[in-house]
A and B are shown apart, each in its own frame.
Chain A
C-alpha cells in the first residue's frame, strides 16, 4: 500500500502509480456511489440530521410509553385498531401544520383523535431539515463548479439519478425508516394481533412516506438546480411548501360551499389528503383557523375531486423532475 511507502518521491512514483487492470463496475454502481457519497458526507458533517433522528426516535418512544401505559384505560378498541390509529396519525403529522383534516367516515386515525400522539413541531423540523439538506444537492455543484467533473465521468441522467437517489436515502432514513420501525415496535409492544390484519397499515406508512419523499425531492431538487444557490433554493422551497400551507387554505375556504381549487397549490395539504385517499376515504373535513369545518367530497363531481389531488401531486413531481433534467442538460452544460 502506498501509505507505507514513505516520502521518497521517486519511490512513490515508481511503486504506486500502477496500471489499473481490474474490471470497471457497472452504471448502477456509479449512480449509487453519488447517492451514497453524498449521504455519508451529510451524515458525517451535519449535526442537525443526527438531532432530528434522535428527535424522531424520542417522539416515537414517548408515543410508545404513553400508549402502552394507558392501554388499559382505552377499552373497547382492538389492538389492531389502536396500532392503525396511532401510526397513521403519526405519519400524517409529517405534513400537518396548518391544515387539520378528519374523515367523515370512520377510517384510520380518526376514532382515536386525530394527531393525538403527534408531538407538534416535529413536522416543522422535518420540513426544515429536508429543505436545508436537500437544497444543496445540485446547487452546491454549480457553486463549487464540481458538476464539470461529474459530467466528464458520467451521463447526465446518471448524475440526476444519483442526486435523486441521494435525497431518497436521506428521506428514507429521516422519514420512512422511523415509522416502519414504529410499526414493528407497536406490533410487538401491543402484542396480540394478527400481522395480516395490520399489514395494510405498514403499506400505508411506506407508500405515504415515499410519496412525501418523492414530492419533496422533486420540489427541492428542481429549485436547487433552478437557483444554483443553496440558500435561494432553500428559501424558495420553504416558501413554496410552508407559506403556501399557511396562506392557500384560507383562500380556498372563502370561495363558496365546497373548498376551492386554489387548495390544489398547497402541496402539503395535497399530501395530507393523499393519505386519506390511500385509506379509501371519500368525504373529509378540513378545519380552518377559526375552527370551522369545511367538508370536501372527493367523489361528488363538485369542486376538488380525488383525482385532482393525485393529479396535482403527479404534476408537481413531473415538473420538478423535468426542471432538473432541463437545467442539467441545457443550462448547466450548454
Chain B
C-alpha cells in the first residue's frame, strides 16, 4: 500500500482535566519523513499517544493509514512502531533478544518469527553483538536503540520516534538520527520524528509540522519554511507605523508584519526606498536588517507571534 497522506486528524482535542494537551488539531501528515516540532509542552506527545490509542481524544477524529483511531485502533497499532519519550528501563534482567521478541509477539508475530525479527531489528540498530546481554547493563544510548528495535520488530509502516535523542551524547545522537533517517530512505518507512530540537528535525526529515501550546502553527517543507521569506528585510519603526506600511505598499512593495517586525520583500535600492519612505511618513527607524531566515527564525518568530496574541 502506498499513501500520500499517512495521518489525518480532524478537530482533534485532548484535555487532561482542565489542562490543554492539544486543541482542535487538523492536520494531514504527508508520507515519508515528517518532523513534529515544538517546545516542551506543545502537545506533540499528547497527539502521538492519541494516535496510538493510549489516551482517548476529548473530541475530534483521526485516521492513520485510512484506519479510524476509534474503531480500528488495533490495526493502527500493528502498523505503527512507537518509540516513547520516557527513559524506559525495560526489564533489567532480561536479555535484549528476549524483550524484543516479546514485543514482536505482542504485535502478533509467531514465536519463531518474533525471534528472527528480534535478531534482525537488533542488528539493524547496531546491537547485534549485545543482543544476549541483559538490558540492565545497557547504557542510555543503547537503551534508546533497544526502544527503536522494539518499534521495528513487527515491521510497521510508520515509525514514530518521540524525542529519540533525549540524553544522548553527540555521537549517539547522530547515530540515532541516521538510523531513523535510513528507515525512511532505505527501508521505505514513513517516519515521524518528534522533537523540541530544530537541528534534529532538520537533519532527519524534509517536512515539519510546528506545534505550540496544543495548536499547529505552521507546516510545510522545511526548505520552504526556511527559504520562503528569506528575501525580506526586517524593519522596526517608532511612530506612524501604519502610514509607513501603507506608503511602502503604495510603492508596490510586498509588506507584512511578523513577530513585531515589518518585513519588506527585497528589490533594487530597497534600502533607499525604505529610509526615504520612513522619513516621509514621519516614522523613526529603530531596526533595519536583512535577515536570511532559517527555520530556527521561523520557529522563534512563530512562537513570538503566539505570545503577542495572548
Q: Which residues of A are interface residues toward B (Cβ below 8 A)?
A: 1-3, 5, 7, 9, 12-13, 16-20, 22, 24-27, 29-30, 33-34, 37, 41, 45, 140, 143-146, 148-155, 333-334
Show 10 A/B contacts (Cβ-Cβ < 8 Å), sorted by A: A9-B126, A16-B119, A17-B121, A19-B155, A33-B106, A41-B98, A140-B91, A146-B88, A146-B89, A149-B82
Give complex CA distance A3, B77 in Å: 28
For residue B116, CB closer than 8 A to chain A, the reply is: yes
Is B110 a contact partner of A334 (Cβ separation < 8 A)? Answer: no
> In the complex, A151 Cα to B53 Cα: how many Å?
8
A313 to chain B, nearest CB (A): 32
A154 to B77, Cβ gap below 8 A?
yes
B182 contact set on A, CB distance < 8 A:
13
Cβ of B84 and Cβ of A152 under 8 Å apart? yes
B154 contacts the other chain (CB 8 A): yes
**A2-B89 in contact (CB<8A):** no
Cβ–Cβ < 8 Å partners of B67 in chain A = none
Inter-chain contact B88/A151, CB cutoff 8 Å: no
Bound CA span A148–B106, Å: 13
Q: Does B124 contact A (CB under 8 A)?
A: yes
Evaluate contact between B108 and A2: CB separation under 8 angstroms: no
Closest chain-A Cβ to B131's Cβ sits at a distance in Å of: 9
Contact A2 B77 (CB under 8 A): no
Whether B102 is near chain A, meaning CB under 8 Å from some CB there, is yes
B94 located at the interface, meaning its Cβ lies under 8 Å from any Cβ of chain A in the complex? yes
Give, as a whole number of angstroms, the nearest-CB distance from B120 to chain A: 4
Q: Are A45 and B93 in contact (CB under 8 A)?
A: yes
- Residues of chain B contacted by A12 (CB below 8 angstroms): 123-124, 128
A155–B74 CB distance below 8 A: yes
Q: How many Å lie between the Cα of A29 and that of B114 in the bound state?
A: 13
Tell me if A's interface is mostly helix, strand, loop or mixed: helix
Most buried by A among B77, B78, B89, B106: B106
Contacting residue for A149 out of B88, B93, B152, B155, CB 8 A: B88
The A-contacting residues of B in range 62-78, CB under 8 angstroms, are 73-74, 77-78
Q: Complex Cα distance A152/B147, Å?
A: 12
A287, B150: Cα distance in complex, Å: 56
Q: Which of B84, B108, B124 contacts A145 (CB 8 A)?
A: B84
If A12-B123, A145-B84 touch, does A29 touch B105 (CB 8 Å cutoff)? yes
Whether A145 contacts B86 in the complex (CB less than 8 A), given A13-B186, A150-B106, comes out as yes
A149 & B84 in contact (Cβ 8 Å cutoff): yes
How far, in angstroms, from A9 to B246 measured CA to CA in the complex? Answer: 62
* Contact of B109 with A149 in the complex, beta carbons under 8 Å: no
Which A residues touch B154, using CB under 8 A? 20, 153
**Distance between Cα atoms of A245 and B36 in the complex (Å):** 56
- Chain B residues with CB under 8 A of A153: 77, 103, 106-107, 154
Determine the chain B residues whose CB is within 8 A of the CB of A34 once the complex forms: 106
Checking B74, B106, B117 against A20 with a beta-carbon cut-off of 8 angstroms, the contacting residue is: B117
Closest to B88 in A: A145
A30 partner residues in chain B, CB cutoff 8 A: 105-108
Complex formed: what's the CA distance from A140 to B99 in Å? 14
Interface size class of B (residues with CB under 8 A): 35 or more
Residue of A17, A24, A334 touching B108 (CB-CB under 8 A): A24
Interface presence of B287 (CB below 8 A): no
Closest 4 CB pairs of A and B: A24-B108, A20-B155, A33-B105, A144-B89
With A33-B102, A144-B88 known to touch, is A334 a contact of B55 (CB < 8 Å)?
yes
Structural contact, A143 and B89, CB atoms closer than 8 A: yes
Assembled-state Cα–Cα distance A171/B293 (Å) = 65
Q: Is the CB of A152 within 8 A of B52?
A: yes
* Cα–Cα, bound, A9→B105 (Å): 26
Does A17 lie within 8 Å of B124, measured CB to CB?
A: yes
By beta carbon, the residue of chain A nearest B156 is: A20
- Chain A positions within 8 Å of B92 at CB level: 144
Q: Are A148 and B88 in contact, CB atoms less than 8 angstroms apart? A: yes
Assuming the contacts A17-B187, A145-B84, A152-B82, asked whether A25 and B108 have C-beta atoms less than 8 A apart, the reply is yes
B116–A2 CB distance below 8 A: yes
Known A3-B119, A37-B105; contact A20-B87, beta-carbon cutoff 8 A: no
Q: B16 contacts the other chain (Cβ, under 8 Å)?
A: yes
Q: For the complex, is B90 an interface residue (Cβ under 8 Å from A)?
A: yes
A148 B86 Cβ-Cβ under 8 A: yes
B residues 145-196 in Cβ contact with A at 8 Å: 147, 150, 152, 154-155, 182, 186-187
Residue of B nearest to A333 (CB): B54
B213 at the interface (CB under 8 A from A): no
Distance of B70 from chain A, by nearest CB (Å)? 13
Which one of B54, B116, B117 contacts A151 once the chains associate, using CB atoms below 8 Å? Answer: B54
A139 to chain B, nearest CB (A): 12
Complex Cα distance, B115 from A2, in Å, reads 10
B113 within 8 A of A: yes
Which B residue's beta carbon lies closest to that of A22?
B113
Task: Judge whether A24 and B55 touch: CB under 8 Å.
Answer: no
A7 and B87 CA atoms in complex are apart in Å by 29
Closest chain A CB from B266 CB (angstroms): 46
By a CB distance below 8 angstroms, the chain B residues around A149 are 82, 84, 88, 103, 147, 150
The reply to whether A16 and B105 form a contact with Cβ atoms under 8 Å apart is no
B110, A25: Cβ atoms under 8 Å? yes
Partner of B78, one of A24, A33, A41, A143: A24
* Beta-carbon nearest neighbor of A159 in chain B: B106
Residues 35-79 of B at the A interface (beta carbon under 8 Å): 49, 52-55, 73-74, 77-78
Q: How far is the CB of B46 from chain A (nearest CB, A)?
A: 11
Chain B residues positioned under 8 Å from A140 (CB to CB)? 91
Contact of B209 with A by CB under 8 A = no
Q: Which of A2, A144, A148 contacts B54 (CB 8 A)?
A: A148
Is there an interface contact between B102 and A152, defined as CB atoms closer than 8 Å? Answer: no
Residues in B with CB closer than 8 Å to A143 are: 89
Given the complex, which residues of A lie within 8 Å of B123, measured CB to CB? 2, 5, 12, 16
CB distance from A116 to the nearest CB of B (A): 41
